[in-house]
C-alpha cells in the first residue's frame, strides 16, 4: 500500500503474485435497454477478488447501469450475471446481502439516528448475538477511524464522515461472508473534499489487497482511478472499449477516442501511469 | 445514550397512575385505593372487601372497560403512527392526517347505516377494509421513486379524507335517528360507552400489532436508509411494506370501529418518544405504545373532567392538544417543505 517507497507497478506486481485471484462476478453477454435505448450491449467481464476494478467512461456510457444491474436494480434484456458461480437471480436475498454490499452515493436519513445505530443497520442480514454485534460495530467504526463519533447524531456529520459511516455499515454487512466479499461503490468520492476522497479510496484499496475483497467502483477522476484501481474497465456507449491494468487500459489514444478530449500528459517519475489533465 | 434506562420506569409509572386515575375519576368519586381493590377484585374474582357493591358495579361495567379501551386504542394508534412515519419515511404521517382514519370511518359508517343488522364485528371488519384501501391509495398517490413527498402525502390525505367525508355526509343524510347519533359520535371520537367486546377486540389488535411491529423494528430502521439500500441489506421491501400497511389498517380499523376518529395520538406520541430516545424503532415502538396508552387515558380523563358532569368527545381533546403540536412541527419543517 505504501506508494511512496514502492513504485506502483512493482506494488501491483507484488500484489498480483501474492493473491490467488478467484473470479467472483461473471457477466455473460449482458445487454440492458432503458426504454428503446440500448444502454449496455453484450458485456462480457470476469471480476476477481483481491482487486479494485474501476468502471470509467463519459456520462451516459453505462457505468452506473452496469453497477445497478449487479445489484438487481435494473432488468436485463439479455445475458446473465453469476455471483460466486451462481446465477444472480437464484440467490436468496439475505444470503446475497452477506457477500455483496453496495455503498450508496449519498444516504440521507429521515430521522436523527446516532452513528452506531446507522452502522447497526448493517447487522440486518447477519445472525449474531447482541454482544458480537456490538463488538463488530466497534471494530468497523475503528476501521473507518470514526470511533470517536460513535454517539454523534448522523445528520450533524460532514459529507466525508457520513460516507465513512455508510462504509462502516456496509463493511459490517459483509463481515460474516464465507466467500470473498463483493463491494460495489457508485462514485463514492463525488461529494467529498480532496483529503476525504483519498482516504476513502485508500481504505477501499486496502480492503481488496489485505482482506481479499472484490471492489467494483464507478469513478470519474481518471487519475484517481489509475492510482487506486488494479484494473480499469472503460465503457463507451454501452460497450467495453478498453480493459486492463491502468497503464495499458488508459492511454492518451483511448482518452481521445472515448472522451473526445485531448489530455495533457504529465509523466511522473517512478509512476507507470502518467497524470492526465 | 443511557437516557432509556430512566425512561422505561418513568413511563410505566405514569401509565399505572393514569390508569388508576381513570378508574377513580367520574361522577361517582371513588378513592384510588378503593379503585385499586375493585380492580383486583375484578381481576381475581375474589372479594377482598372494602369495596361497596355499587362502586364495584361502576368499575366493572363502566370505568374498567373504558380505561382498558383508552389504553389499548392509545397504544395501537401511537404505534401505527410511528410505523407509518417510518414506512413513509416522513415525520408528518399519522393515520388521522393522511386520511386513513377517515377512510376507516367511512367503512364503519357504510356498515352502520346500510347494514344495521350486520352485528358489531361487521363494523370492525368494514372499517379495517376501508382503512386498508385508503392506506394503499394514499401510499400510491404519494410515492415516487425517491420516497414519499410530504406535500403529496398531505394533499393525498386531504383528498381522500374529503372523499370519505362526502361519503359519510351522504350516509348521514340517509341515516335514521339511531344511526345518526352513532355517526356523529364517531366522527368526534369517544371512548364513553365502551363495551366489553370492543375492549377485547382492541386488546387483541394491540397484541397482534405490537408483536408484529416489534419483530419488524430492525427492518423498519433499515428501510429508513432508502428502499434500494434496504434491498441491498437483504430486505424484502415490498413484502415488508405490504405487511406493515395491512397491520396499520387492522390497528386503525379496529380502533376507529371501537372509538371513532381519534386524531393526533399517532403523530404526537412518536415525536415525543423520538425526542427522548431517538429514532431507533426497537425503543421507539414499545415506548410509543406505553406513552400512547397513558396519553389517551389522560385525554379521556380530561374529556370527563373539563365539563363535568357532562362529557366532551375525547377526539376533541386530542385535537386540542395535537393540532397546535402539528402546527409547530410544520413550522419547524417549513424550510424543507417549500
Cβ contact (<8 Å) for A121 and B235? no
User: Domain range spanning residue B293?
Assistant: 66-337
Is residue A255 situated within a structural domain?
yes
Asked if residues A153 and A113 have their Cβ atoms less than 8 Å apart, the reply is yes
Is residue B6 situated within a structural domain?
no
In this structure, the answer to whether residues A59 and A16 fall within a common structural domain is yes
Instruction: Check pLDDT > 70 for residue B146.
Output: no
Length of chain B: 338
Q: Tell which of A149, A177, A205 closes a domain.
A: A177
Instruction: Check pLDDT > 60 for residue A234.
Output: yes
CA–CA gap between residue A17 and residue A5 (Å, rounded): 19
What's the domain count of chain B? 1
A42 touches chain B (CB under 8 A): no
What's the domain count of chain A? 2
CB atoms within 10 A of CB A212: 19
In this structure, the answer to whether residues A189 and A168 fall within a common structural domain is no
Is residue B251 situated within a structural domain?
yes
Partner-chain residue, chosen from B91, B219, B235, that has the shortest CB–CB distance to A110: B91
Per-residue confidence band for A67, with pLDDT thresholds at 50, 70 and 90: very high
Q: What is the pLDDT of residue B335?
A: 66
Is residue A70 situated within a structural domain?
yes
Any idea which residue has 463519459 for its cell? A58
Instruction: Check pLDDT > 60 for residue B102.
Output: yes
In this structure, the answer to whether residues A242 and A252 fall within a common structural domain is yes
| A259 Cα to chain B: minimum distance (Å) | 31
In this structure, the answer to whether residues A188 and A263 fall within a common structural domain is yes
Q: Tell me the chain A residues in contact with residue B274 when contact means C-beta distances shorter than 8 Å.
A: 111
In this structure, the answer to whether residues A143 and A12 fall within a common structural domain is no
A38 touches chain B (CB under 8 A): no
Q: What is the pLDDT of residues B276-322, one digit of tens each?
A: 899 999 999 999 999 999 999 999 999 988 887 788 889 999 999 88
Is residue A185 situated within a structural domain?
yes
| Mean pLDDT value across chain A | 88
Is residue A104 situated within a structural domain?
no
Could you tell me which of B209, B212, B193 has the C-alpha nearest to residue B201? B209
- Per the model's pLDDT, the better-predicted residue between B211 and B161 turns out to be B211
Instruction: Check pLDDT > 70 for residue B337.
Output: no
CB atoms within 10 A of CB B176: 9
In this structure, the answer to whether residues A236 and A248 fall within a common structural domain is yes
Q: What is the CATH number of the domain that holds B328?
A: 1.10.3470.10
Q: What is the CATH number of the domain that holds A219?
A: 3.40.50.300
Is residue A94 situated within a structural domain?
no
CA–CA gap between residue A268 and residue A274 (Å, rounded): 6
A125 touches chain B (CB under 8 A): yes
Is residue B185 situated within a structural domain?
yes
CA–CA gap between residue B63 and residue B22 (Å, rounded): 7
Instruction: Check pLDDT > 50 for residue A3.
Output: no
* ipTM given for this complex: 0.86
- Per the model's pLDDT, the better-predicted residue between A105 and B137 turns out to be B137
In this structure, the answer to whether residues A120 and A255 fall within a common structural domain is no
Is residue B312 situated within a structural domain?
yes
Is residue A152 situated within a structural domain?
yes
Cβ contact (<8 Å) for B222 and A124? yes
CA–CA gap between residue B329 and residue B91 (Å, rounded): 9
- In terms of CA atoms, which chain B residue is nearest residue A104? B229
Is residue B264 situated within a structural domain?
yes
Per-residue confidence band for B140, with pLDDT thresholds at 50, 70 and 90: confident
Terminal-residue alpha carbon distance, chain B: 34
User: Domain range spanning residue A233?
Assistant: 8-84+179-276
In this structure, the answer to whether residues A166 and A186 fall within a common structural domain is no
Q: What is the pLDDT of residues B23-74, one digit of tens each?
A: 888 888 888 888 888 888 888 887 776 788 888 888 888 899 999 999 999 9
Surface of A (74-113) touching B: CB under 8 A: 93-98, 100-102, 104, 107-113
Instruction: Check pLDDT > 50 for residue A68.
Output: yes
Phi-psi region of A29 (alpha: psi -120 to 50; beta: other; left: phi over 0): left
Is residue B54 situated within a structural domain?
no
In Å, how far from its chain's centre is CA B168? 20
Q: Tell which of A152, A177, A202 closes a domain.
A: A177
Q: What is the mean pLDDT of residues A62-70?
A: 91
Is residue A140 situated within a structural domain?
yes
In this structure, the answer to whether residues A74 and A40 fall within a common structural domain is yes
> Which residue, among B82, B216, B232, would best test binding to A if mutated, counting the most A CBs under 10 Å from its CB?
B232
In this structure, the answer to whether residues A161 and A217 fall within a common structural domain is no
In this structure, the answer to whether residues A269 and A142 fall within a common structural domain is no
| A131 Cα to chain B: minimum distance (Å) | 16
In this structure, the answer to whether residues A183 and A168 fall within a common structural domain is no
| Mean pLDDT value across chain B | 87
Q: Compute the C-alpha angle B332/B333/B336, nearest 5°.
A: 145
CA–CA gap between residue A21 and residue A245 (Å, rounded): 15
| C-alpha cell belonging to residue A253 | 489514444
User: What percentage of chain A exceeds 90 in pLDDT?
Assistant: 58
Is residue A91 situated within a structural domain?
no
Q: Tell which of A177, A198, A230 closes a domain.
A: A177
Specify the 3-state DSSP secondary structure of B213.
helix
CA–CA gap between residue B213 and residue B52 (Å, rounded): 42
Amino acid at each position: 500500500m505504501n506508494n511512496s517507497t514502492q513504485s506502483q507497478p512493482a506494488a501491483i506486481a507484488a500484489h498480483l503474485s501474492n493473491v490467488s485471484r478467484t473470479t467472483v462476478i461473471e457477466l455473460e453477454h449482458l445487454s440492458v435497454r432503458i426504454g428503446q435505448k440500448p444502454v449496455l450491449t453484450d458485456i462480457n467481464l470476469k471480476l476477481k477478488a483481491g482487486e479494485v476494478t474501476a468502471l470509467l467512461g463519459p456520462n451516459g456510457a453505462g457505468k452506473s447501469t452496469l453497477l445497478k444491474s449487479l445489484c438487481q436494480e435494473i432488468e436485463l434484456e439479455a445475458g446473465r450475471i453469476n455471483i460466486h458461480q451462481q446465477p444472480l437471480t437464484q440467490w436468496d436475498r439475505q444470503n446475497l446481502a452477506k457477500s455483496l454490499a453496495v455503498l450508496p452515493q449519498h444516504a440521507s436519513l429521515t430521522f436523527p439516528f446516532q452513528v452506531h445505530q446507522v452502522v447497526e443497520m448493517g447487522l440486518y442480514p447477519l445472525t449474531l448475538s447482541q454482544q458480537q454485534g456490538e463488538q463488530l460495530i466497534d471494530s468497523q467504526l475503528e476501521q473507518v477511524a470514526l470511533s470517536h463519533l460513535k454517539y454523534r447524531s448522523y445528520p450533524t456529520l460532514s459529507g466525508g464522515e457520513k460516507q465513512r459511516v455508510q462504509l462502516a455499515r456496509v463493511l459490517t454487512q459483509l463481515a460474516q461472508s464465507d466467500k470473498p466479499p463483493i463491494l460495489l461503490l457508485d462514485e463514492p468520492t463525488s461529494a467529498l473534499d480532496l483529503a476525504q476522497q483519498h482516504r476513502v479510496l485508500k481504505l477501499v484499496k486496502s480492503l481488496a489487497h489485505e482482506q481479499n475483497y472484490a471492489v467494483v467502483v464507478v469513478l470519474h477522476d481518471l487519475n484517481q482511478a489509475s492510482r487506486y484501481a488494479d484494473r480499469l474497465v472503460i465503457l463507451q456507449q454501452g460497450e467495453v472499449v478498453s480493459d486492463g491494468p491502468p497503464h495499458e487500459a488508459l492511454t492518451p489514444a483511448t482518452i481521445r477516442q472515448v472522451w473526445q478530449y485531448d489530455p495533457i500528459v504529465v509523466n511522473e517519475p517512478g509512476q507507470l501511469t502518467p497524470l492526465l489533465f | 445514550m443511557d437516557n432509556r434506562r430512566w425512561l422505561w420506569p418513568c413511563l410505566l409509572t405514569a401509565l399505572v397512575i393514569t390508569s388508576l386515575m381513570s378508574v377513580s375519576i367520574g361522577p361517582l368519586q371513588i378513592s384510588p385505593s378503593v379503585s385499586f381493590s375493585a380492580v383486583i377484585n375484578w381481576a381475581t374474582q375474589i372479594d377482598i372487601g372494602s369495596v361497596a357493591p355499587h362502586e364495584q358495579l361502576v368499575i366493572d361495567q363502566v370505568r374498567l372497560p373504558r380505561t382498558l379501551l383508552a389504553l389499548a386504542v392509545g397504544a395501537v394508534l401511537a404505534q401505527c403512527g410511528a410505523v407509518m412515519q417510518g414506512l413513509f419515511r416522513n415525520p408528518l404521517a399519522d393515520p388521522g392526517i393522511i386520511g386513513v382514519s377517515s377512510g376507516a370511518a367511512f367503512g364503519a359508517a357504510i356498515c352502520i347505516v346500510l347494514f344495521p343488522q350486520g352485528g358489531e364485528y361487521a363494523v370492525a371488519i368494514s372499517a379495517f377494509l376501508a382503512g386498508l384501501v385508503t392506506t394503499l391509495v394514499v401510499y400510491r398517490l404519494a410515492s415516487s421513486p425517491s420516497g414519499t413527498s410530504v406535500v403529496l402525502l398531505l394533499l393525498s390525505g386531504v383528498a381522500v379524507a374529503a372523499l370519505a367525508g362526502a361519503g359519510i355526509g351522504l350516509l348521514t343524510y340517509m341515516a335514521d335517528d339511531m344511526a345518526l347519533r352513532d355517526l356523529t359520535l364517531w366522527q368526534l371520537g369517544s371512548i364513553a360507552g365502551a363495551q366489553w367486546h370492543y375492549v377485547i377486540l382492541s386488546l387483541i389488535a394491540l397484541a397482534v400489532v405490537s408483536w408484529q411491529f416489534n419483530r419488524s423494528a430492525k427492518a423498519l430502521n433499515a428501510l429508513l436508509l432508502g428502499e434500494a439500500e434496504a434491498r441491498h441489506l437483504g430486505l424484502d421491501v415490498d413484502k415488508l411494506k405490504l405487511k406493515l400497511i395491512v397491520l396499520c389498517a387492522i390497528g386503525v380499523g379496529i380502533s376507529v370501529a371501537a372509538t371513532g376518529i381519534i386524531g393526533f395520538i399517532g403523530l404526537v406520541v412518536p415525536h415525543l418518544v423520538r425526542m427522548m430516545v431517538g429514532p431507533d424503532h426497537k425503543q421507539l415502538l414499545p415506548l410509543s405504545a406505553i406513552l400512547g396508552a397513558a396519553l389517551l387515558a389522560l385525554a379521556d380523563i380530561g374529556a370527563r373532567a373539563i365539563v363535568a358532569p357532562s362529557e366532551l368527545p375525547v377526539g376533541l381533546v386530542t385535537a386540542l392538544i395535537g393540532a397546535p403540536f402539528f402546527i409547530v412541527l410544520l413550522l419547524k419543517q417549513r424550510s424543507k417543505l417549500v
